[in-house]
Copies of this chain bind each other. A is one copy, B any other.
Amino acid sequence: MKKFKFEVLYKSKKSGARVGKISTPHGDIDTPNFVAVGTNGTLKALDNKTVDSIGLQLMFCNTYHLILQPGSEVVRDAGGLHKFINRDKPIITDSGGFQVFSLAYGSVENELKSKGLKRNDGTVIKINEEGVLFRSYRDGKKVLLTPETSVIAQKNLGADIIIPLDELTPYHIAPDKLKKSLDRTHRWEKRSLEEHLKNPNNQAMYAVLHGGIYDDLRNESCKILTSLPFDGFAIGGSLGKNREEMVKMLALLMPKLPEDKPNHLLGIGDLKSLEACIPLGIDTFDSSYPTRAARHGVLLTREGFLRIAKSSNSQNFCPIEKNCTCSTCQKFSLAYIHHLFKAKELVGLTLATIHNLHFMVELMKNYRNKILQNQI
């Protein structure tokens, strides 16, 4: 079985952008690349064999959801996540921490809109040195997530790349509280790594760098975590209240990451952020944006967003995008997909998702080509 390996194949002469290749036991990931989110072991509205045919190289599954349904032991008994969901290409899982905290705090956006509202809706019961006790969103049962239980669950799932437990803090947090959380997160990540190394199981573990938008804290997080034998580095925690803050933070942080290890930007994958972050040297991006946009009738095209519900599409018998090679554009017209959305047919969601995912796969190929030509 192939081992985890990362090679930088080319560094742009124009920016920090780079082209690389991550090898995993289930195949290669060309970087930079987009990682689609298949929370429950499937992309929404697409079966995993269709996802293969579109050429998605890495899928992100959420440990939080999978431990609550079907349970990581069921997946283990099925022979691991790849067998359970019938995907023989690379998978990455997270620790579960992000969902526990984000379900409790909400997004930065919602947080900014509702300052002063309580930030914990009761799903997080207790956070202490051991880990986090939360209530299942499915049945209200209490679940204890610790660095060790998260890693054991991720061993059961058996993804190619796994992630240590961290604490997600709200955007609005006092600096002293953030520092305390950061220190604990580092201890949790170290414990996660130790648990992982007891049985590496051919999996790679990426650390998650924290520190919010504070350069000194990001530096500290980078220094501590890069001194440990992680296989790659994800950038997590609060990425700021807007793209500008995120890009500013990344511009300072990226040069400090080890060049010979892959990095990943957590939860970001909108088109403008990709454009802004690829020149900074980000290797992989995960986001549910392109698939969620599809289900909301927003189609990605080289000429911008196309809103499928617009009545001007009702008699357009051309494909969504001329020359697009996705199976949706090869088979069906804009007018028909418009009709499916108007008639609330589930197939419309599937066809739109195929197009958007194909768009992302092609977009990332183009980015890699542009880097190789020093155009980025």
Binds B, one of A153-161, A243-251, A347-355: A347-355
Tell me whether A335 and B84 are in contact (CB under 8 A): yes
**Which one of B47, B70, B78, B342 lies within 8 Å of A347 (CB-CB)?**
B47
Query: A20-44 CB contact bits vs B (8 Å, 1 = yes)?
Result: 0000000000000000000011111
Q: How far is the CA of A323 from the CA of B315 in the complex (A)?
A: 44
Query: A330-371 CB contact bits vs B (8 Å, 1 = yes)?
Result: 011101101110110111011100000000000000000000
Tell me whether B336 and A46 are in contact (CB under 8 A): no
Query: Assuming the A-B contacts A346-B45, A347-B46, are A336 and B40 also in contact, with contact meaning beta carbons closer than 8 angstroms in the complex?
Result: no
Q: How far is the CA of A78 from the CA of B40 in the complex (A)?
A: 38
Copies in the complex: 2
Q: Other than the known A77-B317, A78-B333, A346-B349, what 6 A-B pairs have Cβ atoms closer than 8 Å?
A: A41-B343, A42-B347, A45-B346, A70-B339, A70-B342, A86-B332
Q: Inside 8 A of A339's CB, which chain B residues have their CB?
A: 40-41, 69-70, 74, 84
Most chain B beta-carbon neighbours within 10 Å: one of A315, A317, A345: A345
Tell me whether B340 and A40 are in contact (CB under 8 A): yes
Q: Inside 8 A of A336's CB, which chain B residues have their CB?
A: 41, 78, 84-86
Query: A278-303 CB contact bits vs B (8 Å, 1 = yes)?
Result: 00000000000000000000000000
Q: Which residue on B lies nearest to A353, using beta carbons?
A: B346
